[in-house]
Amino acid sequence: MNEYWAVPYVPGRGKVKSPLRYPGGKFYALKHIMPYIACVEHDEYREPFLGGGSVFFAKEKVPYNILNDLEQEIINFYQSILDDGMRNELISRFNKEAANRERHNEVKQMLPTTPLERAFKTYYLNRTSYCGIINAPAWGYAEGKSSPPKNWGKFLENAAEKLKGVELFSLDYANILELPAKGKNVLTYLDPPYFHADQRRAYTKPFTLDEHLRLAENLRRYPHKFCLSYDDCPEIRELYHWANVYDVSWLYNTDNKPGEKRKTCKELIITNYEVKHR
């Protein structure tokens, strides 16, 4: 296997914060994850489980970028802010919005019929719900947990700039792994639902035991380099005994109850290339 030296993560030009709050999002883990990504030279980047996209938004952009999420409302949101007209309309609406429990309940009851209305509902509830959870039964207003609506426009503008020229899909992750390479060196980062995640609360699409097994087998045959985030548990260590498994830990954002401090959880970074730390 190829050997690489980890590169410390330093926020800088071309690196922006994800516009979304997301269950299991990796914003607080970037300094732990990015050294495993920045050390690999690549001209094509794929992310089959995009979610909030913290890693994509935090990394240097390469010539070819392919982003995917099975959650169609998330991809619709990203596609909407890429359209200048829809993005400006969303910003105009959010500038007039209030973030409170009453308005949260009103938006929750909306039945959107257009991509713009869907993007509005998705983003408003993402910014105002506990941990950014968009799974309808779990939506609950989170008092004071998000930046006020007047600031959301800047988040959308920054994200839209980073997303220019990016290919967006809402497919099964395996379809993204099977795409023919456009670049000479492909790097794929994967952040699937964790093995012991409370999926009924945080996600609308279940990731069953069979899916975890299928992912491991797909990655075992994958011809390109990959970096994978997972929860640290015996099942995952056994599934990926053939790969490089690294122990890391960071503050996790989905299991905590309102008012509690974020918990430190042990995680794994798994790669099919070797990374050494100085």
Structure tokens at 139: 């939506």
In the listed set 143, 161, 179, which residue is the last one of a domain according to the structure? 161
Lookup result for tokens 């190829």: 2
**21/134 Cα distance (integer angstroms):** 10
**66/52 Cα distance (integer angstroms):** 14
**155/50 Cα distance (integer angstroms):** 17
- The answer to whether residues 6 and 40 touch, using CB atoms and an 8 Å cutoff, is no
pLDDT at 66 over 50: yes
Lookup result for tokens 């690549």: 42
pLDDT at 15 over 80: yes
- The answer to whether residues 33 and 27 touch, using CB atoms and an 8 Å cutoff, is no
pLDDT at residue 138 in the model: 55
pLDDT at residue 217 in the model: 98
pLDDT level of residue 205 (50, 70, 90 thresholds): confident
Asked if residue 199 and residue 154 are part of one domain, the reply reads no
pLDDT at 135 over 50: yes
Query: What is residue 44's three-state secondary structure?
Result: strand
- The secondary structure of residue 169, as a DSSP letter, is E
Least confident of 97-101, 132-136, 252-256, 271-275: 252-256
Question: Between 115-128 and 72-82, two packed helices, what is the crossing angle to 10 degrees?
Answer: 110
186-190 β-sheet, strand order: 167-169, 64-68, 44-47, 186-190, 225-231, 263-271, 244-252
Asked if residue 248 and residue 156 are part of one domain, the reply reads no
pLDDT at 255 over 50: no
pLDDT at residue 116 in the model: 98
pTM over 0.95: no
Structure tokens at 185: 């060196």
pLDDT level of residue 22 (50, 70, 90 thresholds): confident
pLDDT at 88 over 70: yes
In the listed set 129, 161, 193, which residue is the last one of a domain according to the structure? 161
Single-letter code of the amino acid located at 183: G
Asked if residue 225 and residue 93 are part of one domain, the reply reads no
182: number of Cβ within 10 Å: 13
Structure tokens at 224: 């390109």
Asked if residue 60 and residue 171 are part of one domain, the reply reads yes
Asked if residue 270 and residue 177 are part of one domain, the reply reads yes
- The answer to whether residues 272 and 225 touch, using CB atoms and an 8 Å cutoff, is yes
φ, ψ for residue 237, nearest 5 deg = -60, -40
Asked if residue 269 and residue 173 are part of one domain, the reply reads yes
pLDDT at residue 141 in the model: 76
Q: What is the pLDDT of residues 35-57, one digit of tens each?
A: 999 999 999 999 999 999 999 99
pLDDT at residue 222 in the model: 98
Query: What is residue 159's three-state secondary structure?
Result: helix
pLDDT at residue 252 in the model: 56
Task: Give the count of domains, the chain.
Answer: 2
Single-letter code of the amino acid located at 97: E
Asked if residue 177 and residue 63 are part of one domain, the reply reads yes
- State the average pLDDT for the chain: 89
Asked if residue 113 and residue 201 are part of one domain, the reply reads no
pLDDT at 190 over 90: yes
**192/50 Cα distance (integer angstroms):** 9
pLDDT at 95 over 80: yes
Query: What is residue 13's three-state secondary structure?
Result: coil
**CATH code for the domain in which residue 271 is found:** 3.40.50.150
How much of the chain is helix, strand and coil, in % rounded to 5? Answer: 40, 20, 40
Asked if residue 174 and residue 67 are part of one domain, the reply reads yes
Asked if residue 81 and residue 154 are part of one domain, the reply reads yes
φ, ψ for residue 54, nearest 5 deg = -55, -40
Asked if residue 219 and residue 271 are part of one domain, the reply reads yes
Asked if residue 201 and residue 175 are part of one domain, the reply reads yes
In the listed set 161, 184, 208, which residue is the last one of a domain according to the structure? 161
**161/64 Cα distance (integer angstroms):** 15
**CATH code for the domain in which residue 91 is found:** 1.10.1020
DSSP E strands in 50-131: the ranges are 64-68
Domain limits for position 96: 77-161
Of the candidates 61, 51, 64, the one whose C-alpha atom is nearest the C-alpha of residue 25 is 51
